[in-house]
Amino acid sequence: MPDRSDTTESVRGTARSRADIPGARRLVVKVGSSSVSGDNVGQIGPLVDALGAAHARGTEVVLVSSGAIATGFPFLGLEGRPDDLATPQAAAATGQNVLMFRYQKELDRHGVVAAQILLTAGDLQNPTHRVNAQRAIDRLLALRVLPIVNENDTVATHEIRFGDNDRLAALVARLLGADALVLLSDVESLYTKPPQLPGAEPIEFVPYGDELAGVTFGSIGAAGVGTGGAGTKVAAARLAADAGTSVLVTATSLVASALAGEHVGTWFEAAPRA
Element (H, E) at 180: strand 180-185
Phi then psi for 232, rounded to 5 degrees? -70, -30
Is 66 labeled as ligand-binding?
A: yes
* CA 56 to chain centroid: 20
The SS3 of residue 178 is coil
Whether the CB-CB separation of 105 and 42 falls below 8 Å is answered with no
Whether residue 126 is annotated as binding a ligand: the answer is no
123 marked among binding-site residues? no
Q: Is 251 helix (H, G, I), strand (E, B) or coil?
A: strand
20 is in an annotated binding site: no
* Per-position DSSP letters for 108-137, written without gaps between them: GGGT--EEEEEE-TTTTTSHHHHHHHHHHH
Which of 269, 270, 260, 267 has the alpha carbon at shortest distance from 189?
A: 267
Backbone angle region of 111, left / alpha / beta, with phi > 0 → left and psi within -120 to 50 → alpha: left
Max CA separation in the chain (angstroms): 53
| Side-chain-facing half-sphere of 248: CA atoms under 13 Å | 33
Partner residues linked to 251 by β-bridges: 185
Sequence-ordered alpha helix ranges (H) in 163-247: 165-176, 230-242
Which residues belong to the annotated binding site for ATP? 30, 185-186
Which residues belong to the annotated binding site for substrate? 66, 153, 165
Which residues belong to the annotated binding site? 30, 66, 153, 165, 185-186
